[in-house]
Chain A
Amino acid sequence: GAVVSQHPSRVICKSGTSVKIECRSLDFQATTMFWYRQFPKQSLMLMATSNEGSKATYEQGVEKDKFLINHASLTLSTLTVTSAHPEDSSFYICSATRDSNTEAFFGQGTRLTVV
């Protein structure tokens, strides 16, 4: 099956700094990538949808200036948490789909801890 790789798997950063999370589709071209946030023992909350070469579409309540999403190529999307604060600590997960397949492939997630 298709593989989506997310990096890093864990990151600890100081409050006020920015953190970049990468999501790569290793063996297919991902026309659409999705970014989710998951709190402990909660479901996945969609943050934004990104299509290659265009601006991301953010869900209501998600600050686009705080969570910068770039989908510069068909195999890479990045999520940058800017000026991170402890309340941004969470598990962030990306997924990718390709035109010829209806399945969504998920990355392994990134555990962000802001101290």
Chain B
Amino acid sequence: GENVEQHPSTLSVQEGDSAVIKCTYSDSASNYFPWYKQELGKGPQLIIDIRSNVGEKKDQRIAVTLNKTAKHFSLHITETQPEDSAVYFCAASKRRGSTLGRLYFGRGTQLTVWP
């Protein structure tokens, strides 16, 4: 099965700085890579995702890059704000047409943004 590794496990940045979280995956057949933000005591929320036919995707302060050859993908948050503080999970999945397969999650990164 798929194995997703995520680093770092904790990340502290000053407000306004950038934060980068990296993930690797093992199954070259994985083709869908979402990122989730989980606040304390809540379920994960999708913040951005990328498919294997795209190398980069941006949504305001958040961007994700994918290197299929190296089998790694990264989350970039610019101009961080205290409300960005949360646990971030990467995941990998095989999508067949419009059907989402099982998600394999990384272990999570606790991001803390200091004011």
Contact = CB atoms under 8 A, between A and B. Distances in A.
B107 A42 contact: yes
B-side interface size class: 20 to 34
Q: Is the interface of A mostly helix, strand, loop or mixed?
A: strand
Contacts of A6: 43
Contact of B89 (A43, A102, A107): A43
Q: Is the interface of B mostly helix, strand, loop or mixed?
A: strand
Interface in A84-115: 93, 95, 97, 99-109, 111
Contact of A103 (B42, B49, B102, B110): B49
Interface in B33-77: 34, 36, 41-46, 49
Given A104-B46, A108-B42, A46 B102 contact: yes
6 contacts: A4-B43, A34-B102, A102-B99, A103-B34, A106-B43, A109-B41
Interface of B: 32, 34, 36, 41-46, 49, 89, 95, 98-100, 102-103, 105-108, 110
